[in-house]
Amino acid sequence: MPSKGGGDTAFKQLKADVICENGYRRVESATITMVSAASADEAAKQEVLEEIRILAVPPYSDVFDKKRLIAEHIIMQEGYEK
């Protein structure tokens, strides 16, 4: 767990990881929804979806555990420092 104090690098990295991973998930979901809605041809749609899935995206991690660690850190600090 990151030490008490807002300047802790590990804590900042943890927050950045959660923000980025949530962003990746939203973009992936929105992209799949748009492709599915825009393509009438099932074969073409599947081809595009396969291309999307091979893009260089970091593997998903356990965001719940990361959020729990962030919450514990904030509680230990008795507040949130930006």
Q: Can you give the chain as a three-state secondary structure string? A: CCCCCCCCHHHHHHHHHHHHHHHHHHHHHHHHHHHHHHCCCHHHHHHHHHHHHCCCCCCCCCHHHHHHHHHHHHHHHCCCCC
pLDDT tens-digit map of 29-43: 888 888 878 877 888
The answer as to whether 11 is a domain residue is no
The answer as to whether 15 is a domain residue is no
Stretch 22-35: mean pLDDT: 85
* Structure confidence at residue 7 as a pLDDT band (50, 70, 90): low
The answer as to whether 67 is a domain residue is yes
Whole-model pTM: value is 0.62
Q: Report the number of distinct structural domains present in the chain.
A: 1
Residue 29, domain extent? 23-77
* Structure confidence at residue 16 as a pLDDT band (50, 70, 90): very high
Stretch 9-15: mean pLDDT: 90
* Structure confidence at residue 80 as a pLDDT band (50, 70, 90): low
